[in-house]
Amino acid sequence: MAKNEVNIRNKRARFEYHLLDDYVAGVQLTGTEIKSIRNGKASILEAYCVMSGGEVWIRNMHVTEYENASFYNHKPRGDRKLLLNKKEILKIEKFLKIKGNTLVPLRMFLSEKGWIKLEIACAQGKKLHDKREDLKEKDDKRDMDRAMKR
């Protein structure tokens, strides 16, 4: 049996935010959502996390409807609960009370046990000059790699 790899990334998160703390959370999903994610039909590019009622939720995560499902299909952009420890939830809640802080998803992957996991990070938004600095460093690194290759 071939191992089904799921590795969905949010590349924009590292460019737009200063990442501070990382957490790995389980995601509460229905059957059709899991099947669709295992087929690679999901996106966390526009997704963000919120605290509501002492729980962490991910919003705006797109999971395409499963094509072989009947009328029991899921909503593509519904809110999904993240499964974290109480300590982690309290730490995140304290972090989010400070203005300018947010919780962003970085990567969705399949664990060794076959569970869908979401790597999230506490983050602060970057200023425009920070983004320009990152682009300059990236260009310089590319130029150095080209020079070393010759």
Over residues 127-150, the pLDDT tens digits come to: 888 889 888 988 999 999 999 988
pLDDT at residue 1, rounded to an integer: 34
Measure the CA dihedral 139/144/146/148, to 10°. -170
Do 80 and 64 meet the contact criterion of CB atoms below 8 Å apart?
no
Set out the domains of the chain in order of their start, with CATH numbers: 7-149 (2.40.280.10)
Over residues 23-42, the pLDDT tens digits come to: 999 999 888 888 888 888 88
Rounded average pLDDT over 84-98: 92
pLDDT at 119 over 90: yes
pLDDT at 13 over 90: no
The band of 114, judged by pLDDT with boundaries at 50, 70 and 90, is confident
Distance between CA atoms of 25 and 6, rounded to whole angstroms?
15
Close Cβ partners of 127 (under 8 Å, ≥ 6 residues apart) = none
| Percent of the chain surpassing pLDDT 70 | 97
The pTM of the whole model exceeds 0.85? no
Token pair listed for 71: 């009328």
